[in-house]
Amino acid sequence: MSLSLRKSCIVLAIVVAVAFIYGLVGCSRAESEDLIMGLKDMPRP
């Protein structure tokens, strides 16, 4: 019981960490895409 409980806690921690990292990467990727689109929309000299 203790072993399976520990294993499920580890899995839960990994899932939370992956979701947190994925959220950070998604936010930064959206910001960089907005920046790139803004640069593309700028008129060329």
Give the pLDDT band (50/70/90) at residue 28.
confident
Please compute, for residue 14, the number of CA atoms within 13 A of its CA located in the half-sphere on the CB side.
6
Structure-model confidence comparison of residues 26 and 9, the more confident one: 9
pLDDT of residue 1 exceeding 70, the answer is no
Give the pLDDT band (50/70/90) at residue 14.
very high
pLDDT of residue 23 exceeding 90, the answer is no
Q: What are phi and psi of 44, to 5 degrees?
A: -80, 140
In order of 9, 34, 37, the CA distances from 22 in angstroms are 20, 18, 22
Does the pTM surpass 0.75? The reply is: no
Tell me which DSSP letter residue 42 carries: S
Q: What is the pLDDT of residue 45?
A: 61
